[in-house]
Amino acid sequence: MREPFIQPLTIIKELEQHGYEAYFVGGAVRDSIIGREIGDVDIATSAKPKEVMALFPKTIDVGIEHGTVVVLYKGEPYEVTTFRTEGTYEDFRRPSSVQFISSLKEDLQRRDFTINAIAMNRHGDIIDPFNGIEAIEKKVIVTVGEASERFHEDALRMMRAIRFVSQLSFTLEEETRQAIRQHGSLLQHVSVERITVEFEKMLQGDSSVQAFSLLAETKLYSFLPSLQVSDNTFSKLLQYKWHLLQHVTESWALLLIGLHNQQIESFLKNWKLSNKTIKEVRDYVSAYTQIRTEGWSPQLIYTYGVHTSLAVNRICYVVGEHEVDESWIKQVNQELPIHSLQDIVVNGADIMNWLNKKGGPWLSELLRTMEQSIVSGELKNDKDAIREWVQSCNQI
Ligand code: ATP
Ligand code: MG
């Protein structure tokens, strides 16, 4: 059993000692079999949420109605979810209530794909009633049960299928793929927040190009926020090596650049992204646009900062245009005489004093010109030099 399971093993043993069944389930078991890095370790149990809470000193109720309790053990959070079925589905969304059951197999049956429906007991034995291991060996994503039925229950699963293609470099089993092609429009019933989570994971996967290709081929893309574009436009996105970007914010910027979409704010608001992300993406796109027209310059690196410059350079690399050496950007940044207005040895008060003038729009204008002259190296960041420069400006 791999290292991430060792600590939470104690939770499973504790539950078993009190007469309950408990297993590792979901992504961690899948990734351990594949040999990928293991993320969150989740546990499924026959104990009811209240029983789980009674057993462990530190728990957080994160959704008792869905059967999930977080157990904090040695400072780490573990999701412990009661075996459940999801009962009836309404409006193609997750049900608002679930039924707790006593059978592991039924719990595995409600899970989306066979690769995600594998359990492991405390001895490391695998319980795999839906042949998830075979699917892992064949590298296919296939729904547990009939694909079209499973997508009617919860249409988000179509997006999940495609994000697993991206993350695991697997392919979609034929029936699962056909069902996505047929039922894409069901995605409109799913909340944007849930779609965004899956889409961002897709953007960051190693095989995101394959995922984009599936979105195009099944036309699922056209049911995603802000993506009601032509097939031709969408297919342009297939030319980029998305996985070479470092952060999802860079991927959002590349998406807008690739689609030639200038409505950055409304595009990203439709995906319900945070204002912080929107601001960052806006910066990336505007720096990129400036580089395309004017090229790189110390001024640009000063204006946007080294972090944004490096991010935009990665975008340039992926687009295949205007990329420069990363070390050049770092060096130019290091050699900049100032990194912000605060670094100038003179302030507005000094200038008003020297010229015996009250503040006003003229002052901010002058400060801006001064900043530019210092960054370009025309003016030294030195009090006497700046004073002389200010006085000469005042005579004009
Ligand atoms: P990751 O490594 O990205 O967390 P994961 O497989 O653990 O991948 P989660 O979203 O954390 O994905 O979900 C945990 C498990 O819950 C899944 O492995 C799957 O068994 C089940 N699951 C999650 N979402 C759904 C869904 N929409 N329908 C059915 N089962 C789901
Ligand atoms: Mg998970």
What per-residue confidence (pLDDT) applies to 98?
A: 84
What per-residue confidence (pLDDT) applies to 124?
A: 96
Rounded-to-integer distance, Cα 182 and Cα 179, Å: 5
Give CB contacts under 8 A, 24+ apart, made by 298-306.
Answer: 298/332, 298/335, 298/336, 298/375, 298/376, 299/372, 299/375, 299/376, 301/329, 301/332, 301/333, 301/336, 302/336, 302/338, 302/339, 302/375, 305/339, 306/330, 306/333
341-395 maps to CATH 3.30.465.10? no
Q: For every residue of 15-42, which 3-state class applies, written as one string? A: HHHCCCCEEEECHHHHHHHHCCCCCCCE
Is the reported ipTM for this assembly greater than 0.85? yes
Shortest-distance atom of ligand 1 to CA 26: 18
Shortest-distance atom of ligand 1 to CA 197: 10
Amino acid at 147: A
CA–centroid distance, 120 to ligand 1, in Å, is 16
C-alpha distance from residue 32 to each of 4, 115, 257 (Å):
9, 11, 37
- The full set of domain ranges for the chain reads 1-138, 341-395
Which ligand minimizes its atom distance to the CA of 27?
A: 1
Pair of tokens at residue 255: 């998406």
282 is in an annotated binding site: no
Which ligand minimizes its atom distance to the CA of 197?
A: 1
Name the strand (E) or helix (H) holding 104. Answer: helix 104-109
44 phi and psi angles, rounded to 5 deg: -115, 140
CA–centroid distance, 379 to ligand 2, in Å, is 55
Pocket test for ligand 1, best of 112, 152, 170 (most atoms within 8 A of CB): 112
The CATH number of 1-138, from 3.30.460.10, 3.40.50.970, 3.90.226.30, 3.40.920.10, is 3.30.460.10
CA–centroid distance, 74 to ligand 1, in Å, is 24
What per-residue confidence (pLDDT) applies to 394?
A: 79
pTM: 0.93
Shortest-distance atom of ligand 1 to CA 157: 27
Residue whose CA lies nearest to ligand 1 atom number 7: 27
Give CB contacts under 8 A, 24+ apart, made by 131-134.
Answer: 132/30, 133/33
Name the strand (E) or helix (H) holding 43. Answer: strand 42-45
Q: Residues of the chain whose pLDDT is less than 70? A: 87-96, 396
CA–centroid distance, 57 to ligand 1, in Å, is 27
Distance of CA 115 to the CA centre of its chain: 22
Rounded-to-integer distance, Cα 226 and Cα 207, Å: 23
42 is in an annotated binding site: yes
What per-residue confidence (pLDDT) applies to 86?
A: 78
Residues with CB under 5 Å of ion ligand 2 are 27, 40
What per-residue confidence (pLDDT) applies to 248?
A: 98
What per-residue confidence (pLDDT) applies to 150?
A: 97
Residue whose CA lies nearest to ligand 1 atom number 12: 27
Shortest-distance atom of ligand 1 to CA 153: 28
CA–centroid distance, 38 to ligand 2, in Å, is 9
Pocket test for ligand 1, best of 40, 62, 111 (most atoms within 8 A of CB): 111
157 is in an annotated binding site: yes
Q: Tell me the DSSP string of 121-186.
A: -TTS-EE-TT-HHHHHHHTEE-BSS-HHHHHHH-THHHHHHHHHHHHH--EE-HHHHHHHHHHGGG
40 is in an annotated binding site: yes
Pair of tokens at residue 185: 């429009």
Q: Which residues line ligand 1 (CB under 6 A)?
A: 26-27, 39-40, 42, 111-112, 116, 154, 156-157, 201
160 is in an annotated binding site: yes
